[in-house]
Structure 1
Amino acid sequence: MTSTTDPVGGSPAEAPDYPMPRAEDRPFDPPPELRAMRERAPMTRVRLWDGSTPWLVTRFADQRAVLGDPRVSADMTRPDYPRQAPGPGGTLSFIGMDDPEHARLRRMVGAAFAVKKVEAMRPMVQGIVDRAVDALLAGPKPADLVEAFALPVPSLVICELLDVPYDDHDFFQRNSRTIINRDSTPEQRAAAMGELGRYLGALVVAKLERPGDDLLSRLGGKIRSGDLTVPEATQMAVLLLIAGHETTANMIALSTLLLLRHPDQLALLRDSDDPAVATRAVEELLRYLTITHGGRRRVATEDMEVAGCPVTAGEGFVLPNEIANRDPEAFPDPDRLDLTRQARHHLAFGFGVHQCLGQPLARLELEVVYRTLYRRVPGLRLAVDFEDVPFKHDGFVYGVHELPVTW
């Protein structure tokens, strides 16, 4: 990083620590310091855990510009990449690579997440959600909605897609939580990655001999054709398994809690027979909550300019999408939850060539959940005081550790 002072974003010596804490009384909102920084300047220096001082980009239009710029790298192995946490160098498959390698690997699994392919999964997802609601209603009250519903639903869906045994869910969920916990040590995170890698690597190798109609078998076919190595396929399987259940599970629980705090919006969603209402609700809830926290990370590969600020090659960017999605220039009255809003242009899934591959599946799962859970459990309510709900302030994916509910 350079140490020059820029009047737009301030001096590295004055850079505040990042990430910033949320306000205790506003757990659904981005940290107030992020809002102040967005209003003060389009680009601001921040200080990360290792003392580096990348640029914080807070405004919607500027984040889109950075994420779509070919002079900006997502390569996590670069020495100047602004890493989220300490640990060994390396990357989790194609999300931490640049083209052409990023595009080559992403194409290997892209067809499985095409919109038409995902839409064909709707009956399967509906069946999983219906059975999960049945189990919730047949179980004890109060119940933890995280363990009883929000976590099983996407875990069952991704297990079905990959052909991973759901009976092993305790194992892969425990290791996934370690990997995405900001407080995990490098040793703990590496051990969890190793456990998941050995587990999924064995499943991938087994598919070489006994292929089926699933995504791991497709990766096995790419190994047989020489397009992928076993380690590459294993890395991709780890990425898909973690991303396929952790983000959606947290989104289901957190958005349910938010809707319970906004009964008028919950009623709008619960009482409508129009599928478009649920579709718009998915986008607005994704915008409002934006649960992937810690900021997307990039690094400039050339000298460039962002928002009128000169950036030198090798300087990093941190892009907290949660504050960009509350930018009034992109979303009028952005702090108001409005399920009728047209919010699909949000940045919850990122932007550019690295935009989330699995977003069609996440959207489908959320839509089915929102159209099913609240209608079938109309009396759903918190079983504890709101102040007693434990939020995940320690994670790279935001949510709640548990959500005690009754009905």
Structure 2
Amino acid sequence: MARLRQENPISPLLYPDGTQGWLITRHATAKAVLADPRFSSRMELRNSATRRMLSEEPEPAEPGLFIGMDPPQHTHYRKLLTGQFSTRRMNQLRSRVEQIVAAQVDELERTGPPVDLVQNFTAPVPSLMISEILGVPYKDRAVFQYNMAALLSLTVSTEEMLAARHTLRDFVKTLVAAKRAEPTDDILGGLAGNANLNDDELTGICFLLLAAGFESTAQMLGLGTFALLTHPDQLATLRENPDLIDNAVEELLRYLTVVQFGLNRTALEDVDLNGTPIRAGQTITISLTAANRDPNRFPSPDRLDITRAPGGHLSFGHGPHLCLGQQLARMEMRAGYQALLDRFPTLRLAVPPEEVPTDDAKQLYGVGQLLVTWDA
């Protein structure tokens, strides 16, 4: 990626079905494309190579799945949710995030070292939080966690993926029906009271929020902790300067970039992109990983530096599809990292770093297990 970014930042990319598209590796170009209305997010415009079901004909996004739509459809759904994810609303949730994190840290302390941080902390925290925000019964968390993992997997069969998808849709439909019958004080309950949303739309929105609200934050909590524990200089700096926690969160988001492959867009018309002719209908893949390591935007980009001036990374995307839940994700990471460092001053890996298994068989990268220990 670094070589391509330097030599050919808009590179021809051959997809598995033989279609030629383009790979973007430079930060400025990636940011420009993500904000350019000439490049579409619509599902039905993507070539089959960018879809998990290669045997299916491309079709429009399902009702409510606004991540695969353009304005005005995307704008319609986005407006319905903006208020639910406002900075004010997220600040109201701050104390609840801290309570959930504190309870999980208490449980870690009771369990005692060594302990798998993924199973006992980095997965439960966002799972509890998104369950509470959406009004999903926490007892049902295993259903959506297991099936969401299958949907994001790069190795399961098409049959397994379809089964997981059907299970999740049925689960969400049942939840939507319950909220319609008896609205509750949560995001899904609030949306259920909107007469302009039908059940299919509400199901799609809930499906999307469940996926976005759990896996990415869980991976960042685990991988971020691993990064800090394997960079003792940065860990020491953060312990000595706890006010750098916000900087640390932004730098970890940039440095790690858990979205493995990038975002796809389709040209709606012929576009001259920095001298490269992109034909209408061609797919562009934007490598967030490469953009976040662009030395033209971030000095010494391959170095983790929590004192780096925050901002500028594209880990939450950019433009009209900028992640709605970014403030909640930041809040969970800030609270999670802080609590671990405060409660366990001697927190360290219980195994050599090379023995920590990476979880690279998903669209979102992370660690599959993180065994840690500390002094009593």
Code of the residue aligned with 1:263 in structure 2: it is P
The match for 1:228 among 180, 191, 197 is 197
Match of 2:159 among 187, 205, 208: 187
- Contact 1:54–1:82 under 8 Å retained in 2: no
Q: Is residue 265–residue 284 contact of structure 2 (8 Å, CA) maintained in 1?
A: yes
1:170 equivalent in structure 2:
142
Aligned 8 A contact 2:23 2:286 in 1: yes
Say which of 214, 220, 225 aligns to 1:245: 214
Residue correspondence of structure 1 range 123-138 to structure 2 within 5 A? 123-138=95-110
| Count of paired positions | 369
Q: Which amino acid aligns with 1:351?
A: H
How many Å separate the matches in 1 of 2:18 and 2:345?
Answer: 50
- Where in structure 2 are the equivalents of 1:174-323 lying within 5 Å? 174-222=146-194, 225=195, 227-274=196-243, 277-323=244-290
Cα deviation digits, residues 56-79 of structure 1 (max 9, x gap):
010000001111111000011225
Quote the Cα distance in structure 1 between the aligned partners of 2:366 and 2:242.
28
The TM-score normalised by the length of structure 1 is: 0.88
Question: Quick check: 1:81–1:316 contact (8 Å CA) kept in 2?
Answer: no
2:45–2:281 Cα contact (<8 Å) kept? no
1:341 aligns with 2:313: no
Task: State the alpha-carbon separation in 2 of the partners of residues 82 and 113 from structure 1.
Answer: 33
Rounded to whole Å, the distance in 2 between the matches of 1:119 and 1:103 is 24
Contact 1:82 1:299 in 2 (8 A): no
Deviates more, 1:185-194 or 1:257-266: 185-194
Residue in 1 aligned with 2:318? 351
CA RMSD across the alignment: 1.4
Q: Distance between the aligned counterparts of 1:81 and 1:40, measured in 2? A: 28
Q: Write out per-residue CA displacement over residues 25-77 of structure 1, whole angstroms, 9 at most, x where no aligned residue.
A: xxxxxxxxx11111111211122232222100100000011111110000112
Instruction: State the alpha-carbon separation in 2 of the partners of residues 98 and 288 from structure 1.
Output: 29
Q: 2: distance between equivalents of 1:84 and 1:138? A: 45
Check whether the contact 1:390–1:402 (CA below 8 A) recurs between aligned residues.
yes
Unaligned runs of 5+ in 1: 1-33
Q: Is the aligned partner of 1:101 residue 2:73?
A: yes
Deviation, structure 1 residue 406: 1.2
Higher share of residues assigned helix: 2
1:60-139 correspondence to structure 2 within 5 Å: 60-80=27-47, 83-87=50-54, 88=56, 89-90=58-59, 91=61, 93-139=65-111
Task: Determine the C-alpha separation between the residues in 2 that align with 1:79 and 1:162.
Answer: 30
Query: How much does 1:213 deviate?
Result: 0.8
- Please name the residue that 1:17 is paired with: none
Check the 8 A contact 1:81/1:298 in 2, yes or no.
no
Q: Which amino acid aligns with 2:253?
A: L
Query: How far did 1:156 drift?
Result: 0.6
C-alpha separation in 1, matches of 2:25 and 2:201? 34
Runs of 4 or more above 4 Å deviation: 87-90
Query: 8 Å contact 1:76–1:83 — kept in the other structure?
Result: no
Shift of 1:81: 6.7
Relative to structure 1, is the Cα distance of residues 271 and 131 closer, same or farther in structure 2, using a 3 angstrom cutoff? farther
Query: Could you tell me how far apart the structure 2 residues matched to 1:140 and 1:53 are?
Result: 53
Secondary structure of the structure 1 residue equivalent to 2:367 = coil
Could you tell me which runs of 5 or more consecutive residues in structure 2 were left unpaired when the two chains were aligned: none
From 126, 141, 148, the equivalent of 1:154 is 126
Query: Is 1:399 the equivalent of 2:348?
Result: no
Give the deviation of 1:165 after TM superposition: 1.0
Cα distance between partner residues in 2 of 1:191 and 1:204? 20
Matching residue's letter, 1:202: T
Is the 2:113–2:372 contact (alpha carbons within 8 Å) kept by the matching residues of 1?
yes
- Residue 198 of structure 1: how far off its partner (Å): 0.8
Which string of whole-angstrom CA distances, capped at 9 and with x for unpartnered residues, describes residues 63-111 of structure 1? 0111111100001122537515335445360111111101111222221
Matched, 1:367 2:334: yes
Alpha-carbon distance in structure 2 between the residues aligned to 1:340 and 1:375: 19
Aligned-partner SS, 1:298: strand
Give the Cα–Cα distance (whole angstroms) in 1 for the partners of residues 363 and 212 of structure 2.
12
CA distance in 1, matches of 2:323, 2:279: 27
Aligned 1:12-51 pairs, distance under 5 A: 34-51=1-18
8 Å CA contact retained: 2:46, 2:266: no
Distance 1:273 1:404, change over 3 A: closer
Q: Aligned residue for 1:11?
A: none
Moved more, 176-185 or 317-326: 176-185
Change in Cα spacing, 1:120 to 1:79, as seen in structure 2 (3 Å) is closer
Structure 2 counterpart of 1:329, from 284, 296, 300: 296
Letter in 2 for 1:238: F
Name the stretch that deviates more: 288-297 or 382-391: 382-391
| CA shift in 2, pair 1:386/1:84, >3 Å | farther
Aligned letter for 2:352?
D
Q: Summarize the Cα distance change of 1:41–1:273 in structure 2 as closer, same or farther, 3 Å threshold.
A: closer
Conserved 8 A contact 1:300-1:315: yes
In structure 1, C-alpha distance between the alignment counterparts of 2:273 and 2:117, rounded to whole Å: 43
Quote the offset at 1:273 in angstroms: 4.1
Matched residue of 1:243: which SS?
Answer: helix
SS at match of 1:405: strand
Q: Deviations over 1:170-213 (max 9, x none)?
A: 21111011011111222222211111111111111111111111
